[in-house]
Structure 1
Amino acid sequence: FFICLIVFFLLSKIVVFFLKSLKNRSNISLKVSVKNITQTKSITPITIMSLGLGVTLLLTLAMVGTNFKREVAKTIPDIAPDYFFIGIQNTDREIFEQSIKSMDEEVNLEIVPIVSSGIVKINGVDPRTYITPDNDSYWVIGNDRRSSWVDEVPSDNPIVAGKWWDLSKPEKLQISLDAKAAKDFNVKLGDIFTLNIYGREIDGEITSLREVDYRDLSINFAMLFNPDFANTIPHEYLATAKFNDLQKFKETKLLNDLPSLSIIKISDYLNKVTDILNKVFIAVILISAVTIIIGLIVISSAIMVQGKVKEFQNLVFKILGFSKKEIIFSSIIEFILIFFSVILIAVLFAVIGSYYVIENIFELVWQFDLQVLLSLSLGIGLVTLILIMLTNLKYLSPK
């Protein structure tokens, strides 16, 4: 906030300095507008700071909101599965797979084994004694997590450190860990996790670290085990399905065949999230609008304080033969010069701020949206110009 305030204050000084250095201004309206901006008692600094802060806030929140909504409402549904299937028993795996493929032969079906496991110790020490709940990866140790195992490195989980399973040690538990969790816990290759699996404590060695992207809602795990060891553990299956034709999926028939199955429809949850985001987006836009309105009130108050000066100035212009049209045009030019300089800096702050929030806080993909910036900038500019002209209206006909 203070950085923005200082930048916009400096901007006001730069604008004044730049306009003072301009020579050979032949247009009368331009001369008047430049004189109004650069005079000693000008409200240019107040206008630029008040308008700049409000516009920056609105553009930043708008960019954050549109990027977030795009990810949830468009990008994620395009790549996310249609359904999650939970609680597939060992004996029902083939029945489940056959049932799904009989409905849609082109379905993208992924079935993985899962087992509940809780991290009891890291290198012999209870991690809850030194890892606090505000740690980004605390969820990994907070409760029992579902873990899985695969023979090959998942294509969307590239290894960033270590090696894949050591097949010469099938009797030893080997763990491939989410690289971010490892960084957050200060865990390195070769460290030992003690896991609670069905009431039994088992030591496992961290043999590799993976870059895991949870954003596409596909099946991902913080911990993967080596199959040679994990296949001996009692387990069930988890599955996802993305249908070529969603209408072919018959939920009732599947539940009749497998009554213990739990089905989660991803679109239902995404719709709920989108609805919440729409409400939040409206709320932040309203808050930003209030900020801009407060800024406009400050500007209007400053104009009123200058009222006598403005009225005297316009009277002089009238005596000198200026038409009302030329006086109005000079006010418009004055506003355009100020607003254009404000928008350039506000857009820069909005792009930097929204990029940081989306990429670093939400860890989503940021995308520049020119349409949002242009429409909001033009809208704010038009409304502000109208309000300023209405405030100046009574000073246009001095007597």
Structure 2
Amino acid sequence: MTLISPRVSLAFRLALRELRGGLRGFYIFLACIALGTGAIAAVNSVSQSITDTISTRGQEILAGDVRFELNNREAAPAELDFLKSYGKVSVSTGLRSMARKPDGSDQALVEVKAVDDAYPLYGSFEAQPNYTLPKLLANQDGTFGAVAAPLLLERLGLKLGDELLLGNVMVNITGTLTTEPDAVSEGFGFAPRLMVSRQALQESGLIQTGSLVEHAYKVRLNDRSTLPDIRDRATKDFPAAGWSIRTSDRAAPSLTENIGRFSQFLTLVGLTALIVGGVGVANAVRAFLDAKRTTIATFKCLGAPASTVVLIYLFQIGLIALGGIAVGLVIGAAAPILAAQFLAQFLPVSTAPTLYPVALSLAVLFGVLTTLAFAIMPLGHAREVPPTALFREQGFEARRLPSWPYILMAAIFLAALAALAVVTAYDRFIAVVFIGAIAFAFVVLRLVAAGIAWLARRSPRVNSPALRLAIGNIHRPGALTPSVVLSLGLGLALLVTLTLIDGNLRQQLTGRMAGGAPNFFFVDIQGAELEGFRNLVTSQAPDGKLVEVPMLRGRILALNGEEVTKRKVPPSGQWVLRGDRGITYSETLPENAALTEGTWWPKDYSGEPLVSFSAEEAGELGLKVGDTVTVNVLGRNMTAKIANLRKVEWESLSLNFVMVFSPNTFKGAPHAWLATLTDQKATAADEAAILKSVTSRFPTITSVRVKDAIDIVNSLVAQLATAIRAAASVALIASVLVLSGALAAGNRARTHDAVILKTLGATRRMLMRAFCYEYLILGVATAIFALFSGGVAAWFIVARIMKIPSQFLPDVAGMTLVTALVLTVGIGLIGTWRILGQKAAPVLREL
């Protein structure tokens, strides 16, 4: 008994024989599948390469087996003894500060990292010259050594051997930083790194009561088997420690989550390209089967059942699709190797050639499901080709739907494609919204195409024969209108959406936000320095507005008595619970806030601790007025009741906090102050003078020039936007391929039209003008749709999700219109030129 029926075997053999004739008509099919699967395979392979490297090199990335972080205080003797009982401990301290030239002529913000002789416990530290770190940081003749990032030397015009003031201590630049093994786990820094010894930092005077300092205790375990229970025991033995614990199997959770989110976005863009390519698949299959009508009719005349005919071409389509998928897999397999060359200096990526079967298998599934979902319907139409087609050459138009089994199978494969996108997504809600938006876009594009045809059908008669012919071509049976609108509409709409988001972000950063933002943030102002600092700043900027608030750091441990680690929080709200948050206290409602619910506490309030919570973040955490929040501050757990919710305008860059407590909550607690200076009339020279005065007079105060921080963020946004546009261009390329396929699919009908019109006296020039008009009209209509739909999508994301002002950008409109016209007219004329040279006799004989 054979496992494969004779009918299936025969169909497979016939399919192979037909493929010997080549792949003519299927090159666009191959390109669409290869492009979509390649994008998905590449994105997921690179993402998995990074996350696997973080997982396998977790000890090196963390510089320990486990990391305990304390903010604003060092570990108590009992806590330190607990850590040492597990293995060797390395202590490092991180903070931001100002580094100055000894003559006071220039200064720069730096990310200070003070380490002990045990650092790093894992991995290797590299500098130039390549000496050991203890030697580079040693105290030589009363001056401590320091290792600086090359960027710091560039900013201050320094070289090896030069000196630098850090707080109250002079350090000598003994080396430039090449490799810092745990840089990724330390998180993103806004300033260049400056590494010193812990002794140098102690003498600098930068660590004072209330200073924003992070102390990291990294442990190299004597017994790795104790790793799973060290967190539970630390929490149980020291419930009020308030330390953040991270193990080497999750060395960089924030980076891993961000990579997951970004890879999901790029995967969805790749899926958009694949779905757009699916339209190309449908067009290519339909054109191919239309060209095979005589062959299909021959099969039927020789007694082949319709099901066998369908199997023959299903096998052919499947084999060609597998070829396209194979090309996509090669792209996906090569992507991590190529990406490593560019990402190695920023992220932990493996440079060794490695295959990622899960990522590649996912791309294969997407490619196969897309092929089947979009090829089934044309196969259903081909099944209905009559044997009489052998005797008369006539196209089969999809004027009605194929039989219900084919519709059902297409629906099943489309549902499977959507389910796969949702199940494999990092954020399933976003994936569901995306799939819904794609489905809605397809429906709207069909309606747009129908609307264009309806308008063309009812347009007034024009005198120009070429224009009249163009208008007729738009609404006649078998017109290219649905294909062109569907092909270009989705890709252009995606490009418009991303471009508008990028443009609005840039305007917000460089325009509105920068214009209304403070000139400076001043951090770590000690209480004893506050009056002198205030007098200095007001004398330097008499027209400026100085705002001062008390500043503490605290970590949210529990909400309504439930540990935050056990609480399910949506991704948008997880940042509030991750690490320490800046907190403050105030007798009165901050002037830049407005209550949305509840009431503010009275002055001189002395009851139970109360807190005002940001309304948006409270909603994401599921909090309301009357709930409780437990926060660890300076090693003490404080539980406060939510008295009110308030609206916070984060984009103003003024002094805003998620939590503002009643003053009695922290009565007597040591803390520093945070201040902003806003002076819209200040010039760059004025800002430089203020920065120099504050840094020279108060070396332990950290001064952050807001414009510099915005420039850094703007640079990051620009790099991110470039990556996103590159990804979006994949979808646009798929659209171009589909457009080419759609025009190629209509070439046969166009050839008949052109021959008949030329026989009736039409010139090639007149026909070319008619086709130009047709493509111009379709290009403009598609551009208008892309601008409208992309503008609405961008407005929703910018105004409703990012919560920043949104506006339409005219240059985006111009770019979209030009792109649409160039693509439709250019590709249309390239495909049409050959048609106009077709000889009349062979075509007329087939009519």
| Fold match by TM threshold 0.5 | yes
Count of aligned positions: 398
**Post-superposition offset of 1:21:** 4.4
1:320 and 2:776 equivalent? no
Deviations 1:8-34 (A, max 9, x none): 123323433443345645432233223
Q: 1:207 aligns with which of 630, 643, 657?
A: 643
**Distance in 1 (alpha carbons) for counterparts of 2:597 and 2:634:** 29
**Post-superposition offset of 1:302:** 3.6
Give the structure 2 partner of residue 158 of structure 1.
594
- Counterpart of 1:263, as a letter, is S
SS in 2 for 1:364: coil
1:231–1:100: structure 2 CA closer, same or farther, 3 Å change rule? farther
Q: 1:93 aligns with which of 515, 527, 530?
A: 530
Once the two structures are superposed, the pairs formed by residues 63-74 of structure 1 within 5 Å of their partners are 63-74=500-511
1:248 and 2:248 equivalent? no
**Post-superposition offset of 1:339:** 2.4
Give the structure 2 partner of residue 282 of structure 1.
722
**Distance in 2 (alpha carbons) for counterparts of 1:285 and 1:253:** 43
Give the structure 2 partner of residue 395 of structure 1.
835
1:183 and 2:634 equivalent? no
1:294–1:77: structure 2 CA closer, same or farther, 3 Å change rule? same
**Distance in 1 (alpha carbons) for counterparts of 2:559 and 2:826:** 65
1:79–1:118: structure 2 CA closer, same or farther, 3 Å change rule? same
SS in 2 for 1:143: coil
Give the structure 2 partner of residue 10 of structure 1.
447
Q: 2:628 aligns with which of 165, 174, 192?
A: 192
Deviations 1:285-313 (A, max 9, x none): 34434433332333333434444543443
1:202–1:16: structure 2 CA closer, same or farther, 3 Å change rule? closer
Give the structure 1 partner of residue 554 of structure 2.
117
**Post-superposition offset of 1:107:** 2.0
**Distance in 1 (alpha carbons) for counterparts of 2:830 and 2:586:** 70
Which consecutive unaligned segments of at least 5 residues does structure 1 have? none
1:173 and 2:609 equivalent? yes
- Counterpart of 2:783, as a letter, is I
Once the two structures are superposed, the pairs formed by residues 255-294 of structure 1 within 5 Å of their partners are 255-294=695-734
Root mean square deviation, CA, Å = 2.5
**Distance in 1 (alpha carbons) for counterparts of 2:510 and 2:704:** 18
**Distance in 2 (alpha carbons) for counterparts of 1:190 and 1:145:** 21
**Post-superposition offset of 1:194:** 3.0
- Counterpart of 2:601, as a letter, is W
Q: 1:369 aligns with which of 809, 815, 819?
A: 809
Answer with 117-126 or 144-153: which moved more: 117-126
SS in 2 for 1:158: strand
Give the structure 2 partner of residue 81 of structure 1.
518
Q: 1:233 aligns with which of 669, 672, 683?
A: 669
**Post-superposition offset of 1:182:** 2.2
Once the two structures are superposed, the pairs formed by residues 280-359 of structure 1 within 5 Å of their partners are 280-359=720-799
**Distance in 2 (alpha carbons) for counterparts of 1:354 and 1:95:** 48
Deviations 1:56-108 (A, max 9, x none): 11111111111111112221111111221111111000111122122221122
- Counterpart of 1:34, as a letter, is I
Q: Give percent identity, aligned residues only.
A: 22
Check conservation: 1:161, 1:209, Cα contact below 8 A.
yes
**Distance in 2 (alpha carbons) for counterparts of 1:146 and 1:308:** 69
SS in 2 for 1:376: helix
SS in 1 for 2:642: strand
**Post-superposition offset of 1:383:** 4.1
Deviations 1:239-260 (A, max 9, x none): 1122332422433332232121
Check conservation: 1:173, 1:229, Cα contact below 8 A.
yes
**Distance in 2 (alpha carbons) for counterparts of 1:352 and 1:101:** 46
SS in 1 for 2:620: helix
**Distance in 2 (alpha carbons) for counterparts of 1:203 and 1:10:** 57
1:188–1:44: structure 2 CA closer, same or farther, 3 Å change rule? closer
Point out which structure has higher relative CO (alpha carbons under 8 A, 6+ apart): 1
Check conservation: 1:175, 1:226, Cα contact below 8 A.
yes
Answer with 225-234 or 51-60: which moved more: 225-234
SS in 2 for 1:194: strand
Which consecutive unaligned segments of at least 5 residues does structure 2 have? 1-437, 840-847
**Distance in 2 (alpha carbons) for counterparts of 1:312 and 1:124:** 77
